[in-house]
């Protein structure tokens, strides 16, 4: 009888474990580790796209890893715990692109108790008035890779497919491909079968909204308080040389109006100029808007710091831009982020104390 009961119990355990694996449930052991971590929270989340951008932070004397729980691995992500400038932080790498960044940000916000999110990395530059190595802090981010690609033969005054359902809109604007072609016949511009792409806002579902009732968002603002704090890093001095190759001037930090993200590595001067003139974009990357959108829906304070590694599409006086200066830009982004955290911490402590006294 005991053997029979043991077999039944073993079968039940195997079944439960199988269900947990099949449905992605968090194991009991992982849940306990997360609970222990959250008892020490809340944390500032630091989200980084790639390892070469994260390594300068991990190697910095400003980062002190937690001795008891240095990291937790879950769903292909490694969440590192420690302190930066005496602020408790969780550092996580996303990987390339909008999907990876959105998933990682949502995991971070779902699993851990956070007070805010800092995202940093390198980016292409759409503003020729700035230089490689400069550090930018945009006030707004947009996902500029969500398009409605218009049927050939239709024009700006024609209704877009599914526009009447509210799925798409012409409010934001469009890119007309024929404006960027060289071909002509009999003195007239050759028609372009690619026609127009219309830029679209994201559908979002805020945590305090009605489930399955969408809202739309194109420009996502960073946290106002974080943006105010970032003004104080504008006087920083940054590295300007990689070995014997130096930039014309020392890089600077600057707050800018907007940045854009999409699943596209932009190395095209015509598209760079379009983004800058149409949307007043400075940094162009592949992750920030995804992080911004998730934080916006979850009402988590957010800011992104991006150092410029190249003038997208070329055209600067510096040759082999990204190949030479990506490491310098990554270090400048880390230096700016460390300074930002150092400035942010006393204010967070003051706000927390004021909230406790009220």
What CATH number should be reported for the domain holding residue 105? 3.40.50.1580
Position 11 in a domain: no
Provide the pLDDT for residue 179. 87
Position 12 in a domain: no
Among 200, 234, 268, residue at a domain's last position: 200
Rounded CA gap, 107 and 287, in Å?
Answer: 15
Count the domains in the chain.
Answer: 2
Stretches where the chain sits below pLDDT 50 are 2, 9-10, 12-17, 19-22, 319, 351-352, 354-358
Position 210 in a domain: no
Give the residue from 275, 250, 249 showing the smallest Cα distance to 262: 275
Q: Are residues 338 and 270 in the same domain?
A: yes
In order of 51, 116, 179, 209, the CA distances from 335 in angstroms are: 16, 19, 41, 38
Q: Are residues 138 and 47 in the same domain?
A: yes
CA 300 centroid distance within chain: 14
pTM of the model: 0.87
Q: Are residues 99 and 237 in the same domain?
A: yes
Provide the pLDDT for residue 181. 80
Rounded CA gap, 178 and 197, in Å?
Answer: 11
Q: Are residues 79 and 158 in the same domain?
A: no
Q: Which domain holds residue 252?
A: 27-142+219-357
Give the residue from 86, 138, 113 showing the smallest Cα distance to 300: 113
Q: Are residues 165 and 126 in the same domain?
A: no
Q: Are residues 39 and 176 in the same domain?
A: no
Name, in order, each residue with C-beta under 8 angstroms of 4's C-beta and a sequence gap of 6 or more: none
Q: Are residues 70 and 106 in the same domain?
A: yes
Q: Are residues 132 and 158 in the same domain?
A: no
Q: Are residues 179 and 113 in the same domain?
A: no
Q: Are residues 69 and 126 in the same domain?
A: yes
Q: Are residues 59 and 160 in the same domain?
A: no
Provide the pLDDT for residue 60. 96
Position 315 in a domain: yes
Provide the pLDDT for residue 6. 54
Position 231 in a domain: yes
Position 185 in a domain: yes
Position 213 in a domain: no
Ramachandran bin of 97, using left for φ above 0, alpha for ψ from -120 to 50, beta for the remaining angles: left
Q: Are residues 303 and 231 in the same domain?
A: yes
Give the residue from 117, 121, 99 showing the smallest Cα distance to 49: 121
Provide the pLDDT for residue 14. 47
Give me the residues paired with residue 204 across strands.
215
Rounded CA gap, 134 and 172, in Å?
Answer: 29
Position 292 in a domain: yes
């Amino acid at each position: 009888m005991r053997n029979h009961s043991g077999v039944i119990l073993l079968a039940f355990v195997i079944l439960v474990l199988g269900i947990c694996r099949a449905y992605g449930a968090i194991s009991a052991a992982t849940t306990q580790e997360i609970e222990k971590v959250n008892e020490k929270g809340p944390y500032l989340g630091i989200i980084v796209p790639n390892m070469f951008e994260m390594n300068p932070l991990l190697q910095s004397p400003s980062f002190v890893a937690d001795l008891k729980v240095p990291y937790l691995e879950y769903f292909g992500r490694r969440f590192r715990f420690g302190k930066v400038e005496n602020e408790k932080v969780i550092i996580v790498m996303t990987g390339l692109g909008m999907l990876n960044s959105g998933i990682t940000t949502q995991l971070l916000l779902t699993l851990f108790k956070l007070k805010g999110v800092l995202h940093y990395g390198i980016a292409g530059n759409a503003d020729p008035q700035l230089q490689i190595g400069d550090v930018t802090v945009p006030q707004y981010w947009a996902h500029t890779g969500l398009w409605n690609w218009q049927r050939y033969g239709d024009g700006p005054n024609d209704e877009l497919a599914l526009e009447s359902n509210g799925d798409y809109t012409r409010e934001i604007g469009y890119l007309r491909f024929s404006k960027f072609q060289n071909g002509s016949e009999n003195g007239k511009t050759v028609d372009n079968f690619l026609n127009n792409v219309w830029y679209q806002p994201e559908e979002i579902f805020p945590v305090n909204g009605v489930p399955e009732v969408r809202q739309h968002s194109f420009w996502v603002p960073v946290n106002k308080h974080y943006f105010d704090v970032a003004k104080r890093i504008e006087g920083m001095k940054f590295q300007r040389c990689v070995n014997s190759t130096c930039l014309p001037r020392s890089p600077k930090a600057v707050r800018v109006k907007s940045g854009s993200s999409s699943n596209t590595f932009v190395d095209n001067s015509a598209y760079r100029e379009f983004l800058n003139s149409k949307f007043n974009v400075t940094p162009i990357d592949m992750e920030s808007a995804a992080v911004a959108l998730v934080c916006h829906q979850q009402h988590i304070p957010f800011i992104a710091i991006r150092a410029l590694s190249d003038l997208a599409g070329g055209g600067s006086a510096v040759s082999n831009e990204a190949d030479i200066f990506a490491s310098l830009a990554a270090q400048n982004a880390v230096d700016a982020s460390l300074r930002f955290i150092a400035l942010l911490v006393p204010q967070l402590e003051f706000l927390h104390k004021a909230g406790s006294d009220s």
